[in-house]
Structures are given as C-alpha cells and as structure tokens.
Structure 1
C-alpha cells in the first residue's frame, strides 16, 4: 500500500503523525506543583509507513516513546521512534515489510526470522533503566534523557523467554520486579515464563509452566504472598495464522481461569481455578491478601472489548452494547480447592491506576477511565478500540464511592499516572493527556489539540490545577509511566 487506510485505526487520534520532534518551554496555564518534577513517558503507536494490508490495526503500529520533561515548572516535549529491529528494516526499505498483527506468515520474505515486536505498549522503569515493551517480544532499553534506543534487553543473556509482558509488577517495599512472558517458547505455544528481577535489576529467577489454552495474558497481579494470572478465552491458533488469519479470536463458550501460586514458590504449586465463560479482562487494578482470602480487582467485560478479536471468533456486537463493571474476584486459599466468588465494585471502564506504594497491598483508592453517559456529543474517534474514553473516575473500592472529572465536549482522555506528594497527608497528583477538539464535537476527527493536565489525585472533580498546551494533535498513547527527577538523575544510562 502507498496510502494509509481510512479505517478507525487510522483516523481521529489514530491519525498517523510520523514526526520525531523536540519542543521546549511549552505554554503552561496555571501552576505546576513542586512535587511534579520528573518525566512522564508515554508509549505511542504510530506507523512509520503505510501498512501492507488495509485492515491493519492500531496495536500493530510502530512504537514511539514520548516524554513530557517537567523541571521547576518548565515543560519540554520530545518524541522518537523506538528503533526496533523491525523499525530499522522497514526504514532501510522505505516501506512496510511486516504484515498482519502478530502473524509472521504474512510478512515479506526478506524479513523472515527477524524480531517482529514494535515495542509500543508500556514504558517500564526498573532499577535505573527505562524499557519500551510489548508482550510479543522482549523489551527495548531506551535512554531516558535522549530517548535514543539502546537495544533489546535480555538481562545480559540470562532471559530465556522470547517475550516480556507489557505489565510487570514492582513490589514497593522490596523493589523487585515480577514479570512473565506468554508464548515464551514461540508462536502459539502454551509456555509461560515467570520471572523475578531483584531491586538492582538482576534476573534472579525464571520458571516455565503451561497455561490451559494459548490465550492473550495481557496483565497479571501480585500480592505479598502470591503471583496471579487471570486468563480469558481469547485464543491463538497456529493453523489460522498459517492461513493468513488473525492471531487472536475470542471464544464465548470457554471458561476463564485464575492461575495462582506462592510468589516465591515453584510453578509446580500453581492452582488453576475455573471462572465464568466468555468474559474478558485486559487490565487488573490490583490484588491483595486479606487473611486467607485473596482479592483480585479487574476491569471485566462480558466479551472481548476489541472488535477485531471478537469478530475473528464470530462474535458481532456493537461496542456500546458490551456490558461490564469494575469487578472483584475473591479466592479462599484455606480451601484445598478454592472457588471464585464475584461481585461488582464499580462502574465499567479500563486503563486503571493505583499508587506505586499500594501495589499488591490493601488499597483505599484507584483511578480509571470510562465513558460519560451524559456527555454532549459523540466520543472522539481513535484509540485501540476506536472510541476514546472521556471520563476520569476515582473510586474507593471499600465503599464504592466514585468521584469523576469530565473533559471538554467531544474530548478524549488517556491513562493517568500518579505522582506522590512530599506533603504529609496529601494524596498526590495525576498527570494525563487530554485531547480537545478545535471545532464543534463530531467535526473533523483529526482536528484537535493535546494538553497535559495536572490534577489533584484525591480531588479529581475539581479539574486541573495546571494545563500544558502542546499546540499539537498527539497520537493516542497506550500506557504511560511517571519517573521522578531523583530516579532520572540516578539512571544507569546517561
């Protein structure tokens, strides 16, 4: 193809921008709190070239690493491509060489055997290093000061898994990073590699086990006692891939599962607990121990939220008809054969966040995104599922209390990151990108301006205390990560 398709994956906030840039001293409206001193890194999919197939999807686009660098109230913005093996091969050829999403059988023969990952999902900071990750390959290390790509990361040759999750979990007290890779042994294998890196970034443990079926395990959770893999029936099939088909197809008739084991234990100790049929989760909020009980909070829907994964499985439902809720699954681990108890604890939504200090522990509040049922006008087009969220919610899971922040009519909101406060008793801050239409809602979907908002974390209903105006229409992010100035100053790569 020589032109970009005009599908939902290439319009609105998914419009290809393909620009690497640095902009200093962005306009700031309001006052940025002194605690907000560091960098907000964002994973941004953006095609460097028109795709090989006109039904390409946003998750298949080249990864860019974006940064809002904030120091003493001044804000600079930078964005660069992650120079993966795939990106460099296509850059040299000046055209797309890799085909359908996670299907190497559709690639140009010249790139057979090359690393296909686009590293476009999550910036991960651990032990002084910044990585860009996507779960179909290993992470790529990035210089946090220049955004230059350092190279693919395999823990100095120690990591055997071919893949690395986009959602590792870092224990706030030990500093250890718990992570995994699925399809760890290759395309469509049942292999899952469970790994632990210590606080200094050394890989200290890697164990492999089989999952019940080859599913997309996008996220997982830890508690102080356990490592937990919720898995859902969106399945890969090698024969389908060889025929040029989709990597993932949702199966509405198969059960979900919870795999749970002692987090420092042996994978032979995993217990598999059956859950409801046909449901789907991409992001867990948190999990924690409550005596013998383990609570797992997640953004659950009654089918897969991605249309291309539903339709590959023969499920044809409109996006607005999908039902869901912030849901708690509870396991009683005192039983020889634990069962799953389920209850809703909040409105539907996704792209959830807890404070770093609450990871794997009892927590009193979280933040996530949803659709405003009282919004004036249609949602802004774009994002991974085709329609952007337009409501930020703060929830107290213990009592269900919800407060919310709206965005301007027709606007969009990306996943927030939390920044702790140095002031005792203050709940900290959230930073997030807001896309604001330049014209009336429902107008030209590519005509908008992106702003970075700073919001008081425990008073989101008050709106932003500061807005950073980019004057640019930024491409949709997937996930983002906040890194403090102190951590940046002590990074391993200078």
Structure 2
C-alpha cells in the first residue's frame, strides 16, 4: 500500500504520527508535587510505513518509546522508535516488508527468518535496565536517558525462550522478576517458558511446560507462594496462518483453564483448574494468598474484547455489546478437583494499575479504566478501536468505588502509579488524556494529567500541556529518579 487505510486502526488516536521528537519545558497548569521526580515511560505503536494490507491493525505498528521526564514543574517530552531488526529492515527499504499481524507467511520473502517483534507493548524496568517488550519476541533494551536502542535482550545468552511476556511481575520486596513466554520455541507451539530473574537482573530459573491449547497468554499473576497462568480460548492454528489467515481466532465454545504452581517450584507441580466457556481477559489487577485460598482479580469479559479476534473465530458481536466485570476467581488449594469460585467486584473495565509494593500480596486499593455512561460516545482509537473515558478507584475489601470521568468525547490512557514516602499520602496517578479539538476524530490535543491516587474523583491537580496530539499508548511505567541515576546504561 502507498497510503494508510481509513479504518478504525488508523483514525482517532490511532492516526499515524511518525515523528521522533524532543520537547523541553512543557507548559504546566497547576503544581506537580516535588516527590514526582523521575520518568513516565510509555509504549506507543506508530507505523513508520504504510502497511502491506488494507485490514492491518493498530497492534501491528512499530514500537516507539515515549518519556515524560519530570522534576517538579519542569517537564520534558521525548519519543523515539525502538530500532528492532524489523524496523531497521523496513527503514532501509523505505516500505513495509512484514505483512499481517503475527503471520510470517504474509511477509516479503526478503525478510524471511528475521525477528518480527515490534517491541510496542510495555516498557519494563528491572535490574537497572529499561526494556521495550511485546510477547511475540524477546524484549529490546533501551537507554533510559537517550532512548537509543541497545538491542534484543536474552540475559547474555542464558534465556532459551524465543518470546518474553509484555507483563512480567516484579516482587517489590525481593526485587525478583517473574516472567514467561508462550509459543516459546516457535509459531503455534504449546510450549510456555516460566522464568525468574533476581534483583540484579540475572536469570536464575527457566522451566518449560505445555499449555492445554495454543492461546494468547497476555498476562499472568504471582502470589507469595504461587505462579498463576490463565489460559483463555483465543487460539492460534498453523494451517490457518499458512493460508494467510489470522494468528488469533476466539473460540466461544471452548473452556478456559488456569494453571497454578509453586512460584519457586517445578512445572511438574502445576495444577489445572477448568473455567467457563468463551470468556476472555487480557489483564489482571493482582493475585494473593489467604491461607489455602488463592484469589485472582481479573478484568473479565464474556468474549474477546478485540473485534478482529472475534471475527476470525466467527463471533459476531458489536464492540459495545461485549459484557464483563472486574471479577475475583478464588481457588481452594486444599481441595481436590478442577473447579473454583467466581464473584463480581466492580464495573467492567481494563488496563488496571496496582501499587508496586502490593504485587502478589493482599491489597487495599487499585485503579483501572472504564466507561462513564454520561461521557458521550467514546473517542475512536486505541487497541480495540474505542478509548476509555473514566478512571475507577476500587477498594476490593469493602467494595468502595470512586470515579473520575474525563470531558465528553475525550479518552484516557492507562495510568501509572507514583508512590509517596509520606504514609499519610496515598501517592499519585499519571495519565495521558486526549481531548477533541474539532469534529475530525483525528484532531485532538493531548495532556498529561496528575491526580491524587486516593482522590481521583477530584480530577487533576496539574496538567502538562503538549498542544499537539499523541498516538495512543498501550502500557506505561513509572521509574523514580533514584533508579534512573543508578541505571546500567548512562546518559
């Protein structure tokens, strides 16, 4: 193709921007608390070239790493492409060479065997290093000070898995990172690699097991005792790929599964629990132990949230008709059998955020994105084609819920949590908000909002004005100045 399609994946906040830039001293409205000192990194898919196919999707765009560098009311913004092997090959060719989403059989023959990952999903900080990740390949290390790409990361040759999740879990107490990779040894493989890296970033364990069917395992959970692998019925098929079809197709009549093993144990100790048919989840708030009970809080929907994955499986459902809820699944490890209990905790939504200190432990509160029914039609864009317009704060222990809605027609991105050293202060949230700037859905202005984490309903206490539109992010992460100052890569 010589031009970008006019589909939902290329309009609104998915409009290709294709600009690397650095902007110093952004306008700040209000006062940013002095404790907010560090960098908010964001993963931003943005096509460097027009795609090969008309039906391409937003998740198939080149990865960009963006950064808000914040010291008090001084805020700088930078964004740069992650120079993956794929990006560099297309940069040299000046055109797209890689075809449909996660289907190498649709690629230009000149790139056969090259690394296809886009590193466009989640920035991950661990062991003094910043990685840009996407679950179809290994992460790429990026210099956190310059945003220059260092290269693909394999733990100095120790990692055997060909893939690395976009959602590792880091135990704030031990500093260890727990992660996995599915399709670990190749396309449509059942193999899953489960790895642990110590606080210094050294790989200490890698074990492999087979999942019940080849599913998209986007996220997982840890507790103080267990590692939890949820398997939902969105499946891959090698014959479908060879015929030029979709990598993922949702199977509404197929059961889901949850595998639970001791987090420091052997994969042979995995115990499998069978769940309902057709349900789907991409993100989990948290999991934790309560005696012999294991609780997992999941952003659950009754079918896959991605229209292109539903359609590939023959599921005809309008995006606004997808139902769901924040749901708690509870597993009793003392009882035999493969069943578990389920109950709703809160309204439907996704892209949750938890304080780092609460990872894998009982937690008092968390935040996630949802839809405010009074916010008007959703702003087009984002990975599923419609942006969220509200941030929910929930206390799962007592059911208390509060909400901040954005202005009508606006959209809000996944927040990052910034802790406070003051025990009387609940910390802050950082989130990019996109607001319409006229009737054209691709014409909007982006702002970074700073909110009190325990008073989200008050709205922002400060806004960082960009006076320009930013492409939709997928995920982001906050890295404090003290960590940046001791990073492996230097400025």
Q: TM-score range by the shorter chain?
A: over 0.9
Instruction: Provide the rounded CA distance (Å) in 1 between the counterparts of 2:374 and 2:466.
Output: 28
Q: Does 1:395 align with 2:394?
A: yes
Preserved contact between residue 332 and residue 338 of structure 1 (Cα < 8 Å): no
> For residues 85-234 of structure 1, what are the structure 2 equivalents within 5 Å?
85-234=85-234
Deviations 1:92-117 (A, max 9, x none): 00000000000000000000000000
SS at match of 1:212: coil
Preserved contact between residue 13 and residue 380 of structure 2 (Cα < 8 Å): yes
Instruction: Provide the rounded CA distance (Å) in 2 between the counterparts of 1:325 and 1:425.
Output: 31
Instruction: Provide the rounded CA distance (Å) in 1 between the counterparts of 2:336 and 2:225.
Output: 17
SS at match of 1:282: strand
Question: If the length of structure 2 is used for normalisation, what is the TM-score?
Answer: 0.99
Q: Does 1:250 align with 2:246?
A: no
Instruction: Provide the rounded CA distance (Å) in 2 between the counterparts of 1:107 and 1:237.
Output: 17
Please state how far the C-alpha of 1:361 moved relative to its aligned partner: 0.3
Preserved contact between residue 98 and residue 116 of structure 1 (Cα < 8 Å): yes
Please state how far the C-alpha of 1:336 moved relative to its aligned partner: 2.9
SS at match of 1:308: helix
> For residues 462-473 of structure 1, what are the structure 2 equivalents within 5 Å?
462-473=458-469
Instruction: Provide the rounded CA distance (Å) in 2 between the counterparts of 1:208 and 1:259.
Output: 13
Partner of 2:326: 326
Partner of 2:271: 271
Please state how far the C-alpha of 1:339 moved relative to its aligned partner: 2.2
Partner of 1:76: 76
Instruction: Provide the rounded CA distance (Å) in 2 between the counterparts of 1:172 and 1:487.
Output: 13
> For residues 324-363 of structure 1, what are the structure 2 equivalents within 5 Å?
324-363=324-363
Please state how far the C-alpha of 1:156 moved relative to its aligned partner: 0.1
Preserved contact between residue 274 and residue 338 of structure 2 (Cα < 8 Å): no
Structure 2: gaps spanning 5 or more residues: none
Partner of 2:27: 27
Instruction: Provide the rounded CA distance (Å) in 1 between the counterparts of 2:398 and 2:256.
Output: 27
Please state how far the C-alpha of 1:400 moved relative to its aligned partner: 1.5
Instruction: Provide the rounded CA distance (Å) in 2 between the counterparts of 1:346 and 1:168.
Output: 25
Instruction: Provide the rounded CA distance (Å) in 1 between the counterparts of 2:104 and 2:313.
Output: 20
Deviations 1:409-464 (A, max 9, x none): 1000000000001212211000010001113xxx2101110000000000000001
Q: Which runs of 4+ in 1 moved over 2 A?
A: 336-339
Instruction: Provide the rounded CA distance (Å) in 1 between the counterparts of 2:218 and 2:392.
Output: 22
Deviations 1:171-202 (A, max 9, x none): 01100000000000100000000000000000
Instruction: Provide the rounded CA distance (Å) in 1 between the counterparts of 2:273 and 2:421.
Output: 42
Partner of 1:374: 374
SS at match of 2:268: helix
SS at match of 1:132: strand
Preserved contact between residue 227 and residue 263 of structure 2 (Cα < 8 Å): yes
Partner of 1:479: 475
Instruction: Provide the rounded CA distance (Å) in 2 between the counterparts of 1:6 and 1:65.
Output: 25
Partner of 1:413: 412
Please state how far the C-alpha of 1:72 moved relative to its aligned partner: 3.0
Instruction: Provide the rounded CA distance (Å) in 2 between the counterparts of 1:400 and 1:48.
Output: 45
Preserved contact between residue 393 and residue 404 of structure 1 (Cα < 8 Å): yes
Instruction: Provide the rounded CA distance (Å) in 1 between the counterparts of 2:190 and 2:184.
Output: 8
How many residues of Structure 1 are paired with residues of Structure 2 in the alignment? 490
Structure 1: gaps spanning 5 or more residues: none
Partner of 1:312: 312
Q: Does 1:490 align with 2:489?
A: no
Instruction: Provide the rounded CA distance (Å) in 2 between the counterparts of 1:322 and 1:474.
Output: 27
Deviations 1:278-325 (A, max 9, x none): 000000110000000000000000000000000000001001111100
Q: Does 1:236 align with 2:232?
A: no
SS at match of 1:75: strand
Instruction: Provide the rounded CA distance (Å) in 2 between the counterparts of 1:58 and 1:234.
Output: 18
Partner of 1:445: 441
SS at match of 1:309: helix
SS at match of 1:464: coil
Instruction: Provide the rounded CA distance (Å) in 1 between the counterparts of 2:339 and 2:380.
Output: 40
Please state how far the C-alpha of 1:338 moved relative to its aligned partner: 4.9
Preserved contact between residue 226 and residue 261 of structure 1 (Cα < 8 Å): yes
Deviations 1:251-296 (A, max 9, x none): 0011000000000000000011100000000001100000000000
Instruction: Provide the rounded CA distance (Å) in 2 between the counterparts of 1:289 and 1:413.
Output: 32
Instruction: Provide the rounded CA distance (Å) in 2 between the counterparts of 1:265 and 1:422.
Output: 35
Instruction: Provide the rounded CA distance (Å) in 2 between the counterparts of 1:190 and 1:296.
Output: 24
Please state how far the C-alpha of 1:472 moved relative to its aligned partner: 1.1
Preserved contact between residue 43 and residue 476 of structure 2 (Cα < 8 Å): yes
Q: Does 1:426 align with 2:422?
A: no
Please state how far the C-alpha of 1:220 moved relative to its aligned partner: 0.1
SS at match of 2:461: strand
Segment of structure 1 superposing worse, 337-346 or 60-69: 337-346
Please state how far the C-alpha of 1:337 moved relative to its aligned partner: 2.7
Question: If the length of structure 1 is used for normalisation, what is the TM-score?
Answer: 0.99
Q: Does 1:292 align with 2:292?
A: yes
Please state how far the C-alpha of 1:330 moved relative to its aligned partner: 0.1
Please state how far the C-alpha of 1:28 moved relative to its aligned partner: 0.1
SS at match of 2:86: helix
